[in-house]
Amino acid sequence: MGRSEKGLANSKPRKVEPAWTPQKINALADVRVTDIIAGPCAAHSFFITDDNRIFGLGRNEQGQLGLNNTERQDAAVEIPFFKSMKVIGAAVGRAHSLVVTEKDGVYGMGCNEMGQLGIRGPVGKGAVVISPRAVELDQKINRSPAVSTSVCFCQRRASCSVPGALNQDSSV
Average pLDDT by stretches of 10, the chain with 172 residues: 47 61 89 94 95 97 97 96 97 96 94 90 87 82 50 47 42 38
Torsion of CA 167, 131, 154, 159, to 10 degrees: 0
For residue 171, the model assigns a pLDDT of: 39
Q: Which helix (H) or strand (E) holds 8?
A: none
- Report how far residue 44's alpha carbon sits from residue 3's, in angstroms, rounded to the nearest whole number: 11
Q: Which amino acid is at 4?
A: S
- Report how far residue 110's alpha carbon sits from residue 68's, in angstroms, rounded to the nearest whole number: 10
For residue 70, the model assigns a pLDDT of: 97
For residue 8, the model assigns a pLDDT of: 46
For residue 143, the model assigns a pLDDT of: 54
- Report how far residue 156's alpha carbon sits from residue 116's, in angstroms, rounded to the nearest whole number: 6
Torsion of CA 145, 163, 64, 21, to 10 degrees: 90
**CA of residue 17 relative to chain centroid, distance:** 25
For residue 16, the model assigns a pLDDT of: 57
**CA of residue 142 relative to chain centroid, distance:** 21
Output the pTM of the full model: 0.74
For residue 155, the model assigns a pLDDT of: 47
Q: How many CB atoms lie within 10 A of CB 144?
A: 9
